[in-house]
Amino acid sequence: MSMSTTRTDQTIDFAAFRDPHVVRELIARIRNRVGERQINLMEVCGTHTMSIGRYGFRSVLPPGLKLLSGPGCPVCVTANRDIDHAIALARLDDVIVATFGDMMRVPGSTTSLAAEKAAGRDVRIVYSPLDVLDLARAHPDRQVVFISVGFETTTPAMAACLLEAADRASDNFSMFCANKMTPAALRAIAGDPETRIDGFILPGHVSTITGLSPYRFLVDEFGLPGVVTGFEPTDILEGVSLLVDMVAEGKPAIVNAYRRGVRTEGNPVARALVDQVFEPVDAVWRGLGTLPSSGLRIKPELSRYDAAVRFDVDTETTVEPAGCRCGDVLRGRITPEGCPLFDRICTPEHAVGPCMVSSEGSCAAYFRYRS
């Protein structure tokens, strides 16, 4: 969907919403509040990106208000060298690599896990980390490696999986951990002189685990507001409306507008589980570079389950896809349509970059809802 497209209310089926009158009122309020201002808001959740595209909100909000998609897709922000490492693991003899479906088609430097599977490597899609343990039990004569990619939402399940493996004494199970933590990415974007963001639509799912305190630095250090929202039309518009109000009034705060799903303190039990298994480490993010303490690695006392420690693999020289500007999309420097490959060379069927591959990728959302 083009950011420059102007669409009238009549092209959105308000009757399809549970609360069409509230939606109309919120859009009118946002339009009035923005007025002649230029306001850039960024959503940092892939589900928000898809919801905003599905509901067509970019085309009915005022021209001065831009909703930019940020690094809200864990597959998209995974660095090429980590993908190449996963591919190298898949090429080992007597190894089964298991991963979630979104990772299969993400291109590495020269190939992908899907291409390796087509070439005869044993790469399998799983729907839960615990499925990998069952896979390891079913194949005791082979090593099973789980490629773990995700944000705070899914990391507790990864931790539980590894602890279960320790309880079962599953010596043929290991995990390649590429999990990341979102606050570091927000800090990098907030401090980027080439990207002007006036407020953040904060991720609802992540916040169920983290709570609100990890976002306080946005106000304290950068004077930027943030609102945690849900994913229904009124959730998103309420979040946008609150952000616009705070920007207009110059009163930044971190607001929880998703109280039915997020508590101020988050989920301390889940965080404690993660702390049992993982420790922070500097990590490379696509488009953002190396961010301090933004990734996770398996603690030394559990290193026998760390695939990066267990297997000495040769990874190919990292090569970024020529012409792909996925990194600039993730930073909010451009929209997907600003990439010269978008809808020309790069499509969901022939994706050049991960933002077009993932079901939560910005480019995939713009392509799907572009008209």
Strand order in the sheet with 95-99: 123-125, 95-99, 143-148, 173-177
The predicted structure's pLDDT at residue 212: 98
On whether the CB atoms of residues 266 and 208 are closer than 8 A, the answer is yes
* pLDDT single digits (tens) 319-371: 998 999 999 999 999 999 999 999 999 999 999 999 999 888 999 999 999 86
Tell whether the torsion through CA atoms of 47, 50, 56 and 62 is positive or negative. positive
User: Closest by alpha carbon to 327, among 368, 361, 302, 281?
Assistant: 361
Q: Rounded to 5 degrees, what are φ and ψ at 69?
A: -90, 135
User: Closest by alpha carbon to 190, among 360, 68, 343, 275?
Assistant: 68
The predicted structure's pLDDT at residue 1: 31
* pLDDT single digits (tens) 73-95: 999 999 999 999 999 999 999 99
How sure is the predictor about 189, in pLDDT bands with cuts at 50, 70 and 90? Answer: very high
Helix (H, G, I), strand (E, B) or coil at 142: coil
> How far is Cα 361 from Cα 79, in angstroms, rounded to an integer?
15
Residue 142 above 90 pLDDT?
A: yes
The predicted structure's pLDDT at residue 20: 80
On whether the CB atoms of residues 189 and 42 are closer than 8 A, the answer is yes
> How far is Cα 363 from Cα 347, in angstroms, rounded to an integer?
9
* pLDDT single digits (tens) 99-117: 999 999 999 999 999 999 9
> How far is Cα 156 from Cα 67, in angstroms, rounded to an integer?
30
